[in-house]
Amino acid sequence: MYDIIIIGSGPAGYVAAIRAGQTGMKCAIIERDTIGGMCLNWGCIPSKSLMESLKLYQKIIKESSRFGIDGIDKKAVSFNWNKAIKRSDGIVKKLTGGVEFLLKKNGVDVIKGEAKIVSANSVLVENRLLETKNIVVATGSTSPKIESDNANLVIDVKHLFTEREIPQNIVIAGKSPIAIELAQAFSMMEKEVTIISDGGSIMPKADPYISNYILNKLKKERIKILFNKSVESVKNKVKDGLLTLDSDEVRCDIIINALDRKGNIPLSDIPIETFNGYIVTDQNFETSVKGIFAVGDVNGKSMYAHIGSAQGLNVVNRLNGIDYKLEIEKLPMNMYTVPEAAQIGYTEDKIKESGVDYKISEFPLSANGKAQTEGGAEGFVRILSETKYGEVLGVQIVAPNATDMINEAAAYMQLESTVYDIAGTIHTHPTVSEVFMEAGFEAVDKAIHK
């Protein structure tokens, strides 16, 4: 009899399993594929590794002379996808090996195979019935299939980061930050890129101030975007290297499937409530079946690894008597665009809907000394604060390291800090993070360097 069985070993699942082991719970984790899930093996880590390779490549060919480096023959410099992938593979192997070690260290039984929920207290895997007090579903998500009459035309993100030849004309199907990141990555490789969005915008969960900023950036990079176009099926729509969508024709050698993802619903002999492709949970991440929880992508509350991990920790801690509410809106949202973007708290539209009086204070990176020295002065910090007491309601950042910088804002919001607290926090100089202090000054009175 296990105290807890976790189905899925991505960031939501393996973090929950490690925590369960740390608290003395008898825990098993079931994985049908590879430890680490999508994020470590085929998503977050490989894509970020590739992006770092491309950023270095771009800096060499575009900025080396400006940084005082002579002697580089730009015509002789090229980007080698396969070598970049080998570097990525080495990082993935190290990280997944570390996760396996931690699971073993904390006494977690790792079981390979397809899991089937038999009851609220039993799971079947490889003809083996396991009894448990609690079940946590952490099976992640997958993009819906794009139907095609060409077996080599459509590539899912899961299968993208392998050694291969990259053709010239790339179509990205999707509108999420993942889709935008991939579009910019291929554009940095001097490929012709088109984004096909099934909606009227990109990055719809981002504050429009950020999504519009990135949209303008894509236009400057000559990345073509088609809005309100469906690519559920491209059968008979690609001929002689051209993809035809209604009246639009797009040059197309491959299509990268980065469509909005849906939850991987596990096999089950008992009904578990779902809605719109996700498992329905309450604020404690418990499903319609008592004792069965769902965390991470599969519950549809967020598609971010760190939020899935936080949900997994929350469930295990609660089962051990540590009861607290996890406020999703106080967790950061990262977008690995170029430059990076990040936000936390409420968007401006949400604040308007609430009727709260608010003010906006913004400070540009172009006025920051460290950003200028690094050659990365594109972007801003934007703070939304309540007018009467100055409580921070939301923070938005566009900057080369926005996904790291947002964690400072997360600390402010966790402590319900005000703009007065931000303005009064002395930041070391020269650092890019000084823009927080300046934005705080701007909210309280006036920024010093603006």
Q: How far apart are alpha carbons 95 and 270 in whole angstroms?
A: 35
20 CB-side CA count, 13 A: 30
| Tokens of residue 276, six digits | 């719109």
Identify which of 13, 28, 1 has the alpha carbon closest to the alpha carbon of residue 112.
Answer: 28
Which amino acid is residue 449, in one-letter code? H
Strand partners, 335: 341
Tell me whether residue 429 is one of the annotated catalytic residues: yes
**Catalytic residue selected from 159, 306, 427, 429:** 429
**48-51: Cβ within 8 A, 24+ apart:** 48/336, 49/84, 49/87, 49/88, 49/91, 50/84, 50/85, 50/88, 50/161, 50/185, 51/181, 51/185, 51/336, 51/338
Residue with tokens 């680490």: 36
Alpha-carbon span 378 to 360, nearest angstrom: 19
Please report, as a single letter, which amino acid is at residue 236. Answer: N
Query: Annotated active-site positions, please?
Result: 429
